Chain A
Amino acid sequence: MSSITGRSTVDQVPGPTGDVPRGRRRLGDTLFGGAANLSGVVVIAIVALTGVFLATRAVPSLLDDKVNFLTSTEWVPEPGNLRFGILQILWTTVSISVMAMIIAVPLGVLNALFLTQYAPRWLARPAASVIDLLAAIPSIVYGLWGIQVFAPHLTGLQKAVNDGLGWFPLFEGPISAGTIFIAGIVLAIMVLPIITALSREVFAQTPAANKEGALALGATKWEMIRTAVLPFGRAGVVSASMLGLGRALGETIAITIIVSSVAPGTDFFASWLQGGETFASKIANNAAEFNDPSSTGAYIAAGLVLFVLTFVVNAIARVIVNRRKAFA
């Protein structure tokens, strides 16, 4: 953020290249700079090595794949006759995550606005803690609760949607016991605390001067939030959503428990009222099969796609955040 004078004093501090005027660099500066650089390098190395590991193990199996990896719905990674494709898995993963985001982002932002702009102080703190507590519940509990307690309550709704809109591919039957729809909602609850907590943090930091500036122009409370608070928090909300989405894409146990798997080789279907497997749950469900390098490679290829997907999503988020950087 730039300071109120448009150029913050930070701008004048020498950058990481160390273009300090000639002279002795202070010991503390050197140590701290070194430590910071080192940890940056380590993180990048870990990510790169993960990618390399996934790629080297996946490529041989991908080359042996008898069907198209991207467009097939088959998954029979038999050594010697590898047939595996990710279309259905990719669809299920993206559907569940998108649905979770559609619910969790607006809800999280509204929560954060309520906690920082509307709630009286005596209520804001306890309410925030309760939401934070949601993050402390283990995902297996969410999974069990989702399928045992929550799913039965949605039977009627899912049936009604199917009856009314069943002609539309997203709502086609037959309805599974554990659907993408249910998993999406449960996942939304699981990522809500991250999105709420981070959005709350940025909204709370909106400078009072900006809020008063809007109010003094005759803004109502909501208009003040729109002109001062939301633009200020935009980048933070995007980051928060990305962290939430990362969690959603990778969530394993809860999904494995909730979503019913479908018979291998079923033709592609788009319905959110049916089951399926995500990348993570596919791998977890079949851990027992990791005995042959070529069939393991198929699962690692699935993992690689998840890895790339997460990367792409983050890159898009960066672009969104940077697009109006001059104004932040």
Chain B
Amino acid sequence: MAKRIDVKDLNVYYGNFKAVEDVSMTVEPRSVTAFIGPSGCGKSTFLRTLNRMHEVIPGGRVEGSVMLDEEDLYSAKVDPVSVRRTVGMVFQRPNPFPTMSIFDNVAAGLRLNGVKNRKVVTETVEKSLRGANLWNEVKDRLDKPGAGLSGGQQQRLCIARAIAVQPEVMLMDEPCSALDPISTLAIEDLIVSLKDEFTIVIVTHNMQQAARVSDRTAFFNLAATGKPGRLIEIDDTATIFSNPVQKATEDYISGRFG
């Protein structure tokens, strides 16, 4: 199931603007890796290269390689659509499909994959909603619109939608930034439990969150606005927070940044 991600010398561009420069890192299977760093340093941009969502933006392009186990995501033979079925994503703002019911939201990915069997779909929806800790709250109103849930519930619905298609890797871009502390804790618990099955990469501005959920932490920074963001260091979370190698990391973590 879960796969290893191996990034080598990655440069990411928006048209002529180089947003991220020269990133190399390895993400172990069945682990949680947190990306931290100041706003605009390219965390989201880099994260979106891991499932080829970056190229959806006009002018978006990438140099370098991203290996998923033995497969180069950016080789000419690889179809971005199949990459996105393997590497799922949860966005910063909950984005359930507004015209679909709760059930259909979770089933959407299955239907895209051509799963027609009602029994399989129903079972997978329930399993995914349970996996996302949402089942008890919505089991009596599966046919109601997904957009009628609270923000935290919507975000867990989006997580359920993403895990329903059984991806190998799950990317999360500040999944808790729009949520209250209780929903945040619910999602953090969820992330820790999902680690058994998936490789998880999470972007967060919340240091405690990174410390609580992640095994490894990567710190990104940029020299100045308009300059590309870079990976400063990546290490075990405990090390990054107690004893980082780079001075910039220590400054950022201790709040002495900028």
Contacts A6-B147, A216-B51, A216-B88 given; does A328 touch B99 at CB 8 Å: yes
A193-245 interface (Cβ within 8 A of B): 207, 209-210, 212-220, 223, 227-228, 231-232, 234
| CB of B151 within 8 Å of the partner chain | yes
- How far is A234 from B101 in the complex, measured between Cα atoms in Å? 16
CB A238 to nearest CB in B, in angstroms, measures 13
Residues in chain B near residue A231, CB distance under 8 A = 97-100
Q: Chain B 130-149, CB within 8 Å of chain A: the 1/0 string?
A: 00000000000000110111
- Whether a CB of chain B sits under 8 angstroms from the CB of A137 is no
* Residues A210 and B98 in contact, CB atoms below 8 Å apart: yes
Contact A216 B89 (CB under 8 A): yes
Given contacts A216-B84, A217-B165, A327-B100, contact A210 B109 (CB under 8 A): no
Query: Which residue of chain A lies nearest to B148 when distances are taken between CB atoms in the complex?
Result: A6
Distance (whole angstroms) from the CB of B240 to the closest CB of chain A: 28
Contact of A327 (CB < 8 Å), options: B89, B95, B98, B162: B98
With contacts A212-B53, A327-B101 known, is A223 near B112, CB below 8 A?
Answer: yes
CA distance A328 to B146 in the complex (A): 11
| A218 nearest CB neighbor, chain B only | B85
A217 x B98 contact (CB < 8 A): no
The reply on B120 being an interface residue by CB < 8 A is no
Given known pairs A2-B147, A212-B56, A326-B145, the reply for A218 and B81 (CB within 8 Å) is: yes
Q: What A residues does B165 contact at CB under 8 A?
A: 217-218
Q: Is the CB of B97 within 8 A of A209?
A: no
Cα A209 to Cα B97 in complex, Å, equals: 9
Report if B91 contacts A (CB, 8 A).
yes
Given contacts A5-B150, A209-B91, contact A324 B99 (CB under 8 A): yes
Q: Which residues of A contact B85 (CB under 8 A)?
A: 217-218
State whether the Cβ of B161 lies closer than 8 Å to any Cβ in chain A: yes
The 8 Å CB contact of A216, one of B53, B94, B113, B147, is: B53
Contact check, B81 vs A5: say whether CB atoms are below 8 A apart.
Answer: no
Give residues of chain B (69-105) contacting chain A, Cβ–Cβ below 8 Å.
81-82, 84-85, 88-89, 91, 93-101
> Which residues of A have CB within 8 Å of B84?
215-219
- The CA-CA distance from A179 to B17 in the complex, in Å, is 59
Question: How many residues of A are in contact with the other chain, CB < 8 A?
Answer: 28
Kindly state the separation between the CA atoms of A326 and B82 in the bound complex, as whole angstroms: 33
A218 & B112 in contact (Cβ 8 Å cutoff): yes
Q: Please tell me if A4 contacts chain B, counting CB pairs below 8 Å.
A: yes
Q: Which residues of chain B are within 8 angstroms of A207 by Cβ–Cβ distance?
A: 95
**When the two chains form the complex, which single residue of B58, B94, B162 contacts A4, counting CB atoms closer than 8 Å?**
B94
Complex: A324 Cα to B143 Cα, angstroms: 12
B158: interface (CB < 8 Å): yes
**Distance of A228 Cα from B113 Cα, bound (Å):** 16
B112 contacts A210, C-beta separation under 8 Å? no
Given A5-B151, A209-B91, A212-B56; A219-B81 close (CB under 8 Å): yes
The docked-state distance in angstroms from the alpha carbon of A214 to that of B95 is: 10
Q: Which residue of B lies closest to A207 (CB)?
A: B95
Q: Among B58, B91, B97, B113, find the residue whose CB has the most chain A CB atoms closer than 10 A.
A: B97
Q: Is B237 an interface residue (CB 8 A)?
A: no
A214 to B113, CA, bound (A): 12
Q: Which residues in B have their C-beta under 8 angstroms from that of A228? A: 97
Name the CB-closest residue of A to B158.
Answer: A213
Q: What are the interface flags for B141-178 relative to A under an 8 Å C-beta threshold, 1 for contact and 0 otherwise?
A: 00011011111001000100110010000000000000
Taking the complex as formed, is A63 at the interface, i.e. its CB lies under 8 A from any CB of chain B?
no
**Which chain B residue has the least Cβ–Cβ distance from A230?**
B99
Q: How far is the CA of A219 from the CA of B109 in the complex (A)?
A: 8
Closest beta carbon of chain A to B58's beta carbon, Å:
8
A123: Cβ under 8 A from any B Cβ: no
Return chain B residues, CB-CB under 8 Å to A220: 81
* Shortest distance between the CB of B137 and any CB in chain A (Å): 13
- A277 vs B94: C-alpha distance in the bound complex, in angstroms? 55
Q: Given A6-B147, A217-B109, A218-B165, decide whether A212 and B95 contact each other with a Cβ distance below 8 A.
A: yes
CB <8 Å contact, B99 and A4: no
B93 & A213 in contact (Cβ 8 Å cutoff): no
B interface list, Cβ under 8 A from A? 51, 53, 56, 58, 81-82, 84-85, 88-89, 91, 93-101, 108-109, 112-113, 144-145, 147-151, 154, 158, 161-162, 165
Other than the known A121-B58, A217-B88, what 17 A-B pairs have Cβ atoms closer than 8 Å?
Answer: A2-B148, A4-B95, A5-B150, A5-B151, A6-B147, A215-B56, A216-B51, A216-B88, A217-B85, A217-B112, A217-B161, A218-B81, A218-B85, A218-B112, A218-B113, A227-B112, A327-B99
Interchain residue pairs with CB less than 8 A apart (30): A2-B147, A2-B148, A4-B151, A5-B150, A5-B151, A5-B154, A6-B147, A6-B151, A207-B95, A209-B93, A212-B56, A214-B97, A215-B56, A215-B84, A216-B53, A216-B91, A217-B85, A217-B88, A217-B108, A217-B162, A218-B112, A218-B113, A219-B81, A219-B84, A219-B112, A231-B98, A232-B99, A326-B144, A327-B98, A327-B100
